[in-house]
Chains A and B, each alone.
Chain A
Amino acid sequence: MAATAQMTLEEIRRGLSWRKQLDKVFVLIGLVILFACLAILALLFLDLVRDGASRFGWSFFTSFPSRKAVNAGILSASVGTALMMFVTALVALPVGVAAAIYLEEYAPKNWFTGIIEINVTNLAGVPSIIYGLLALGLFVYQFGFGQSILTGGLTLALLILPIIIVATRESLRSVPKAIREAAYGLGATRWEVTKDHVLPYSTGGILTGLILGLSRAIGETAPIITIGALAFIAYLPPSPVTSEFPFLSFEWLMSGFTAMPIQMFNWVSRPDQAFQANAAAAGAILLGMTLAMNAVAIFIRYRFRKKINW
Chain B
Amino acid sequence: MATMLEPEDVLSNQKQAAPMQGDTRAQKAETPSVAIAFDERKATRANPPKAAAEKLNFWYGTNHALKDINLPIAENQVTALIGPSGCGKSTFLRCFNRMHDLQPATKYQGAITLRPDNVNLVGPETDPIEVRMRIGMVFQKPNPFPKTVFENVAYGLKLRGIKNRTELAERVEKALRGAAIWDEVKNRLNDSALALSGGQMQRVCIARALATEPELLLFDEPTSALDPIATAKIEELITELRQRVTVLIVTHNMQQAARVSDFTAFMYLGELVEMDSTSKIFTNPSKKATEDYITGRYG
Q: List 18 A-B contacts (CB under 8 A).
A: A178-B139, A180-B102, A181-B143, A182-B144, A183-B155, A185-B97, A186-B133, A186-B156, A186-B212, A187-B133, A187-B160, A187-B212, A188-B129, A188-B159, A197-B145, A201-B146, A307-B146, A309-B146
Q: Of all chain B residues, which has the CB nearest A308?
A: B146
Within 8 A of A (CB), among B100-118: 102, 104
Since A307-B192, A309-B146 are in contact, a sample of 7 more A-B pairs with Cβ atoms closer than 8 Å, ordered by chain A residue number, is: A178-B143, A181-B99, A184-B102, A184-B132, A185-B137, A185-B209, A187-B160
Q: Of all chain B residues, which has the CB nearest A180?
A: B102
| Residue B73 is within 8 A (CB to CB) of chain A in the complex | no
Query: Across the interface, do A176 and B143 meet the contact criterion of CB distance under 8 Å?
Result: yes
**How far apart sit A137 and B97, CA to CA, in the bound complex (Å)?**
53
Q: How large is the interface on A (under 10, 10 to 19, 20 to 34, 35 or more residues)?
A: 20 to 34
| Residue B205 is within 8 A (CB to CB) of chain A in the complex | yes
Contact A184:B99 (CB < 8 A) given known A192-B159, A197-B145, A309-B194: yes
| Residue A14 is within 8 A (CB to CB) of chain B in the complex | no
> Which residues of chain B are within 8 angstroms of A108 by Cβ–Cβ distance?
104
Within 8 A of A (CB), among B121-170: 129-130, 132-133, 136-137, 139, 141, 143-146, 155-156, 159-160
Q: Of all chain B residues, which has the CB nearest A110?
A: B104
Give the dominant DSSP class at A's interface.
helix
> Which residues of chain B are within 8 angstroms of A192 by Cβ–Cβ distance?
159
Residues of B at the A interface (CB closer than 8 Å) are 97, 99, 102, 104, 129-130, 132-133, 136-137, 139, 141, 143-146, 155-156, 159-160, 192, 194, 205, 208-209, 212
Query: Across the interface, do B104 and A186 meet the contact criterion of CB distance under 8 Å?
Result: no
Q: Of all chain B residues, which has the CB nearest A108?
A: B104
**How far apart sit A196 and B102, CA to CA, in the bound complex (Å)?**
18
> Which residues of chain B are within 8 angstroms of A62 by Cβ–Cβ distance?
none
> Which residues of chain B are within 8 angstroms of A178 by Cβ–Cβ distance?
139, 141, 143
Query: Across the interface, do A187 and B139 meet the contact criterion of CB distance under 8 Å?
Result: no
Query: Across the interface, do A181 and B156 meet the contact criterion of CB distance under 8 Å?
Result: no
Question: Smallest CB–CB gap between B78 and chain A, Å?
Answer: 19
| Residue A249 is within 8 A (CB to CB) of chain B in the complex | no
| Residue A109 is within 8 A (CB to CB) of chain B in the complex | yes
Q: Of all chain A residues, which has the CB nearest B142?
A: A178
| Residue A189 is within 8 A (CB to CB) of chain B in the complex | yes
| Residue A248 is within 8 A (CB to CB) of chain B in the complex | no
Question: Smallest CB–CB gap between A173 and chain B, Å?
Answer: 15
Q: Of all chain B residues, which has the CB nearest A178?
A: B143
Closest CB pairs A-B (n = 5): A187-B133, A178-B143, A186-B156, A185-B137, A187-B132
| Residue A43 is within 8 A (CB to CB) of chain B in the complex | no
> Which residues of chain B are within 8 angstroms of A188 by Cβ–Cβ distance?
129, 159
| Residue A179 is within 8 A (CB to CB) of chain B in the complex | yes
Contact of B129 among A187, A196, A197, A309 (CB under 8 A): A187
> Which residues of chain B are within 8 angstroms of A186 by Cβ–Cβ distance?
132-133, 136, 155-156, 159, 208-209, 212
> Which residues of chain A are within 8 angstroms of B137 by Cβ–Cβ distance?
181, 185
Query: Across the interface, do B132 and A185 meet the contact criterion of CB distance under 8 Å?
Result: yes
